[in-house]
Amino acid sequence: MKLNYYKKTLNFKKPAGTSRGVLQEKPSWILFFDEEPMLRGECSIIPGLSQDYTNDVQYENKVKWVCETYNAFEKHDQIALLSFLSLELQNYPSILFGIETLIYNLNLSKGIDSFESSFSKGQHGIPINGLIWMGSVDQMITQLEDKIKEGYKIVKLKIGAISFKKELSILKFIREKYAQEIEVRVDANGAYEEPEVKEILNHLKNLGVHSIEQPIAKGNWELMNALCKDRVIPIALDEELIGVTNEHDKKELLSLINPQFIILKPSLHGGIKGCSEWIELAESQGVGWWLTSALESNIGLEMIARFAAHFKPNIAQGLGTGGLFTNNFPSRLFISKGYLFLGDEEK
């Protein structure tokens, strides 16, 4: 079968506020087989964050190269071909994840499910957190209350864009209204500097925050280790993992920083292959982990959910992004009371 692609621009239903700015849309490149156009994989990037993306022309040239390479050798040993592409795409994790997803869906169409689970069979859901985007205090509180009405017991707040005093007021509101009923995670996307970060962590501890993702910018392993060692609140690495591709460097990072958690996004952290390596290394060192989407469409989101469910997670995953776009792909994914399901939604 011949591999092909096209670009799809995903449009947000509402502007998505992050510490890097407000997103109105984002691009993805969709891989498909000419003979089976409904079998698809997604190469999803976030401009300014994805290290494999410089501009559309550069990125699309690599996607085109993958299609040409696959088509030239697809009649040969497919396992060897995929092994070759995995090596060639080490620095293009989003494209690797796209081809992994496509091949997974091809095998699934033949009745082969590499990540079979009670989730993939439609029997059980995966616990997920409700994501609160950055905005004004009123906007964030409205989002929060909507998530709690929908049945979420775990919420994640993006912080670091508005004043910390205002963000504290939101956290205080949660504790005053819901006491300890709601687990709160926060994601700083590296927003804080050394002079302020310890004070911020202490404020978060006092408000019973579960964990903070990437409190400081990536690259300062000494400070990050000190913050993890202090254990004021658990720290999860996210952007810190981007670009770390070989096993030796992964082991070194985990050993030197010794975080409480790592957050894995296949489109940023080496595809399914790279995330599997991270999980194995993390578990061997007693480091917790969870998977999260990186603004993929439903194509990528379903793949991450199937992969996550294979590990039978008890900790909530970050997979509640399926309803973000006005022009998403149809999907059998649905959310009920803070759990993600695959199947026919109950009416």
Q: What is the pLDDT of residue 20?
A: 64
Q: What is the pLDDT of residue 345?
A: 65
DSSP H helical ranges for the chain: 56-73, 78-88, 93-109, 137-149, 164-178, 194-206, 221-230, 247-257, 271-284, 298-309
Q: Which of 91, 65, 69 is nearest to 78 (CA)?
A: 69
pLDDT tens digits for the chain (347 residues)? 899 999 999 999 988 766 567 889 999 999 999 999 999 999 999 988 899 999 999 999 999 999 999 998 867 677 788 888 889 999 999 999 999 999 999 999 999 999 999 999 999 999 999 999 888 899 999 999 999 999 999 999 988 878 899 999 999 999 999 988 999 999 998 989 999 999 999 999 999 999 999 999 999 999 999 999 999 999 999 999 999 999 999 999 999 999 999 999 999 999 999 999 999 999 999 999 999 999 999 999 999 999 999 999 999 999 988 889 999 999 999 999 999 999 976 53
For residue 132, give Cα distances in angstroms to 233, 308, 331: 20, 22, 23
Q: What is the pLDDT of residue 19?
A: 58
Q: What's the CA gap between 30 and 53, in Å, rounded?
A: 15
Q: Which residues are catalytic?
A: 158, 265
Q: Which domains does the chain have, with CATH numbers?
A: 3-109 (3.30.390.10), 126-342 (3.20.20.120)
Q: What is the pLDDT of residue 73?
A: 84
> Order of strands, edge to edge, in the sheet holding 3-18?
3-18, 21-33, 36-44
Task: For residue range 225-277, list pLDDT tens digits in order.
Answer: 999 999 999 999 999 999 999 999 999 999 999 999 999 999 999 999 999 99
Q: What's the CA gap between 333 and 217, in Å, rounded?
A: 34
Q: Which of 291, 343, 297 is nearest to 41 (CA)?
A: 297
Reduced to 3 states (helix: H, G, I; strand: E, B; else coil), residue 131 is strand
Contact by Cβ (8 Å): 261, 288: yes
Contact by Cβ (8 Å): 289, 279: yes
DSSP H helical ranges for 112-161: 137-149
Q: What's the CA gap between 107 and 166, in Å, rounded?
A: 49
Q: Which two tokens stand for residue 128?
A: 């997920």
Reduced to 3 states (helix: H, G, I; strand: E, B; else coil), residue 197 is helix
Q: Is the pTM of this model over 0.75?
A: yes
Helices (H), strands (E): how many in the chain?
10, 13
Q: Which two tokens stand for residue 47?
A: 């401009």
